[in-house]
């Protein structure tokens, strides 16, 4: 009897060690990020064509969120799941590698052209998969520089790049969101124009420096 108890105890310990090893080496985040297990309110795998286009655009825009700190402004978009051309279920950021937001200055023009600002960064989704992580625009750093056209890279995470064009000799204070672009190097980009932004949100998106 004591021998049986000893063998059973040994088996129990081995099972516990095995379970711990498997469990500790399992990527919990990966399990939580299975496209098949997302909430229905942003799973569009049953849609295609124009219905899919409209649904994903609405999801991106209605999930828009502006976060502000004393140094920067962060722009987050809604995330979604869809089925690609091969029938594979994917997260948006698995299909589109980059996100681009283009703004146009209000009340200012240079030789008849309005100043523009493009903020581009890596498409990365949040832990709960419902949001695309914010792209941070380092406003304080920008205002500390002399206005100039061109491309600037800032150490703000997500490979952020900011491009300016048609700038006057002072920084414009008010910027209107003109387009959202989800970029895919291997296929067509997904583009949302300013009129669509206003239609889905009910108002334009304005950024004040």
Question: pLDDT per residue over 69-111, tens digit each?
Answer: 999 999 999 999 999 888 999 999 999 999 999 999 999 999 9
Stretch among 16-30, 48-62, 139-153, 158-172 having the lowest mean pLDDT: 16-30
What residue numbers bound the domain in which 51 lies?
33-208
Distance CA(94)–CA(142), nearest Å, equals 31
Q: In this structure, is residue 169 part of a structural domain?
A: yes
Task: Pick the more confident residue, 41 or 196.
Answer: 196
Q: So what's the pLDDT on residue 36?
A: 53
Residue 190 lies in a domain: yes
Task: Report helix, strand or coil for 114.
Answer: coil
The contacts of residue 24 (CB under 8 Å, 6+ apart) are: none
pLDDT, position 30: 32
Q: Is residue 122 part of a domain?
A: yes
Residue 163 lies in a domain: yes
Please provide residue 181's backbone torsions phi and psi, each rounded to the nearest 5 degrees. Answer: -130, 125
Residue 126 lies in a domain: yes
Model confidence pLDDT, tens digit, residues 171-205: 999 999 999 999 998 878 999 999 999 999 999 99
Residue 186's SS3 state is coil
Question: In the predicted model, what is the mean pLDDT of the chain?
Answer: 84
Q: Does residue 44 lie within any of the structural domains?
A: yes
Inside any domain, residue 89:
yes
Report yes or no on 26 lying in a domain: no
Number of domains comprising the chain: 1
């Amino acid at each position: 009897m004591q021998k049986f108890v000893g063998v059973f105890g040994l088996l129990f310990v081995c099972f516990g060690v095995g379970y711990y090893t498997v469990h500790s080496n399992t990527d919990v985040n990966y399990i939580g990020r299975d496209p098949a297990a997302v909430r229905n309110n942003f799973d569009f795998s049953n849609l295609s064509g124009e219905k899919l286009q409209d649904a994903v655009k609405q999801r991106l825009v209605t999930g828009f969120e502006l976060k502000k700190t004393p140094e920067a402004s962060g722009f987050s978009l809604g995330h979604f799941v869809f089925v690609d051309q091969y029938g594979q279920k994917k997260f948006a950021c698995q299909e589109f590698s980059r996100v681009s937001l283009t703004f146009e200055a209000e009340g200012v023009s240079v030789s008849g052209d309005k100043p523009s600002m493009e903020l581009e960064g890596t498409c990365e989704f949040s832990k709960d998969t419902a949001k695309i992580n914010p792209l941070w625009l380092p406003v304080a750093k920008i205002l500390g520089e002399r206005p100039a056209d061109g491309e600037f890279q800032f150490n703000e995470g997500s490979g952020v790049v900011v491009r300016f064009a048609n700038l006057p000799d002072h920084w414009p204070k008010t910027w209107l969101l003109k387009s959202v672009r989800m970029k895919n190097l291997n296929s067509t980009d997904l583009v949302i124009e300013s009129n669509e932004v206003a239609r889905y949100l009910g108002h334009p998106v304005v950024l004040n420096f």
